[in-house]
Amino acid sequence: MNLEELKQQYSDGIRNFSGIDLSEQNLKDIYLGGANLEQAKFIVSNLSGSNFTGANLFRAKLNVARLSSANFQKATLNQATLNVANLIQCNLQEAEVKDAEILYAEFIRAQLSDSDLRGSIFNGSDLRESIFRRAKMQGCQLNEVKLQKAIFNDAVLNQVEIKGSDVSKADFTGAVLNEGNLVQSDFSYAKFVNAQLVRTLFYWSDLTGANFSGADLSYADLKGADLTRANLKGANLKGANLVNANLKEANLIGVSWEGQTLVAQPWTGVKLYGVSRVGIKTRGVECEWVDMSAQGDRSNVQRLKPHQVSLFFHEILPKIEININAAVDFNSNLLLASVYKKLAKNLPSFERPPSIKSKQRGTVMQFEMKTEDDSIPLLYAALFPFFNQEKIIGSILKSLKIVRGKPIEEVSFKFGKAIDSMLAAVQNLERAVEMIPLPPKQKLPRSTANFFNGITQIKLINSRDDELIVYRKNTGSELNEMTSEQLAEEIKEFFAYD
C-alpha cells in the first residue's frame, strides 16, 4: 500500500492498517488518529508533525524515524522500537509505551506526562528538558542518557536504572524511586524534594548541591557519593550507607539518622542544627567545624580539633539523675505524675516522664532531654514536688548567674545567650507553678513524705557522657560542700561552649 492509498482508505473510515510497511516514506503532518497500526513499519520515515492520537502502534517499528513534534497522545506503543528516532518536542502524554526499545533516540523537550513507560529501555537517548510528570516508569533503563533539566514530578520510578547518565538539574520532586539503581551518574543540583528513595543506590554519584529536603533515603546506598552543599534538611537517613560520602557544607538540619556510621568522609561546614548525634559511630571523619545555627547561616559555628570529632559525634542523650534514699510508693508516684503532667504543658523540653527505678531502700529517677541547654529548666520542674527544692535549685541558679556575670573572655557570647534562655525558662516555670497546688507536708503518709524529703544526690550527664554533681546531701549538712563559685566553674566545663 502506498501513501495515497493509505490516505484514501483512512478518509473512507478504514482504521485497521495492521502490519503496514511505510518505511522510508514522507508522512509529514499525516493524521492517523485512532488507527490500528499494530506491527506497522515506519523505518527511516519522516513523520514530523504527524498525529497518532489514540492510535495502536503495538510492536510497531519506528527506527531512525523523524517524529519531531508528532502527537502520540493516548496512543499505544507497547513493545515498539524507536531506536535512533528523532522525537524532539514529541507529545506522548497519557500514552502507553510499555516494554518499548528506545535506544539512542532524541527526546529533547518531549511531553510524557501521565504516560505509562514501565519496563522501557531508553539507553543512550537524549531526554533533556523532557517532562515526565506523574509518569509510570517502574523498571525503566536510562543508562548513559542525557536528562538535564528533565521533570519527573510525582512520577513513579521504582527499580529504575540510571547509570552513567547526566541528570543534572532534573526535578524529581515528590517522585517515587524506591530500590532504584542511580549509580555513577551526575545528579548535581537535581531536586528530590519529598521524594521516596528507600533502598535506592546512589554510590559514586555526583549529588553536589542536590536538594533532598524531606526525602526518604532510608537504607539508601550513598557510598562514595559527592553531597557537597547538598540540602538534606528533614530527610530520613535511617540505615543509609554514607561510607566515604563527601558531605562538606551539606545541610543536615533536622535529619533522622539514628545509629548512623560515618567513615572516612569530609564533613567540614556541615549544618547539624536539631540533629541527634546519639549512637553515631565515626571512623576517619574529617571535620574542622560544623554549623549549629537554626537557619544554617553560620551564626553558630562550632570548631572541632581532630581529637574532638569522635567525641562530638559519639553523643548520648543528656540526662538528669536524681537519687532518693526512699522507695517510691503509690501516693508518691501518683503525685509525681499529676504534677509533671501539668508542668510539661509549660516546658516543651519536658517531652516524656522520667524513668523510675525503685528498690526497697532507694529510688533513681532519670530525665532525658535533647540538649544540655534544657537541663536547668527541666531540673527545676523535676524538683518542684520535693520539699527542699527551693534551697537546691536556688544554689544552682546562683552559680549559673555567677557564670553569666563573668567577662566575655571567660564566657562566650553563645554560652551567655544560652544561660539567658535557661533563666528565662525558669522564670516562666516559676509563674506556672503558682497555679499548681501541692498537698500540705503534714497530711502526706510517712512513706510519701520520706520520699519527697529524701534526695541525696543530683547529677547532670551531658551528651559527651561527662557527669556534674550539682547537689549531694552529706551527713550533718544540708547542701554540698562545694561553694557557688566552685560550682560555677564546674558548670562552665560541663556545658563546654566555645
Task: Give the residue, 260 or 419, on which the prediction is more confident.
Answer: 419
CA–CA gap between residue 79 and residue 102 (Å, rounded)? 10
Residues 6+ apart with CB under 8 A from 440: none
Amino acid identity of 396? I
Segment 415-440 mean pLDDT: 90
Question: For residue 107, is it left (φ>0), alpha (ψ between -120 and 50) or beta?
Answer: alpha
**Could you tell me which of 495, 325, 332 has the C-alpha nearest to residue 354?**
332
Give me the pLDDT at residue 497, please. 57
Which of 143-157, 360-374, 402-416 is most confident? 143-157
Residues 6+ apart with CB under 8 A from 350: 340, 343, 344, 367, 378, 381
CA–CA gap between residue 186 and residue 471 (Å, rounded)? 57
Beta bridge partners of 66: 46, 86
CA dist 55 → 50, 64, 72 (Å): 12, 20, 7
Give me the pLDDT at residue 264, please. 65
How deeply is 341 buried, as exposed, middle or buried, from its count of CB atoms within 10 A (0-12, 13-18, 19+)?
exposed
CA–CA gap between residue 406 and residue 403 (Å, rounded)? 5
Output the average pLDDT for the chain.
91
Question: What's the pLDDT tens digit per position in 72-89?
Answer: 999 999 999 999 999 999
Task: Give the residue, 102 or 474, on which the prediction is more confident.
Answer: 102
Domain assignments of the chain as residue spans, ordered by start: 16-171, 319-495
Residue 180 main-chain phi, psi, to 5 deg: -75, 160
Give me the pLDDT at residue 36, please. 97
Question: What's the pLDDT tens digit per position in 126-151?
Answer: 999 999 999 999 999 999 999 999 99
DSSP code of 354?
P
Kindly tell me if the per-residue pLDDT of 457 is higher than 80: yes
SS3 category, 450: helix
How deeply is 28 buried, as exposed, middle or buried, from its count of CB atoms within 10 A (0-12, 13-18, 19+)?
middle
Q: Which residue has the cell 535511617?
A: 238
Give me the pLDDT at residue 496, please. 60
Segment 368-397 mean pLDDT: 91
Give me the pLDDT at residue 287, please. 84
Give me the pLDDT at residue 479, please. 46
Which contiguous run of DSSP H or E holds residue 344? helix 330-344
Question: What's the pLDDT tens digit per position in 274-316?
Answer: 887 776 777 777 888 889 888 888 888 888 887 777 777 766 7
Task: Give the residue, 224 or 489, on which the prediction is more confident.
Answer: 224
Length of the chain: 498
Residue 221 main-chain phi, psi, to 5 deg: -105, 105
Kindly tell me if the per-residue pLDDT of 33 is higher than 80: yes
Kindly tell me if the per-residue pLDDT of 482 is higher than 70: no
Neighbours of 18 (CB within 10 A): 13
Give me the pLDDT at residue 17, please. 95
Question: What's the pLDDT tens digit per position in 53-74?
Answer: 999 999 999 999 999 999 999 9
Question: What's the pLDDT tens digit per position in 198-208?
Answer: 999 999 999 99
Q: Which fold has domain 16-171?
A: Pectate Lyase C-like (2.160.20)
Q: Are 235 and 213 in contact (CB under 8 A)?
A: yes
SS3 category, 216: strand
Give DSSP secondary structure letters for 46-91: B-TT-B-TT-B-TT-B-TT-B-TT-B-TT-B-TT-B-TT-B-TT-B
Q: Are 320 and 375 in contact (CB under 8 A)?
A: yes
Give me the pLDDT at residue 197, please. 98
Q: How confident is the model at residue 477 (pLDDT cuts 50, 70, 90)?
A: very low
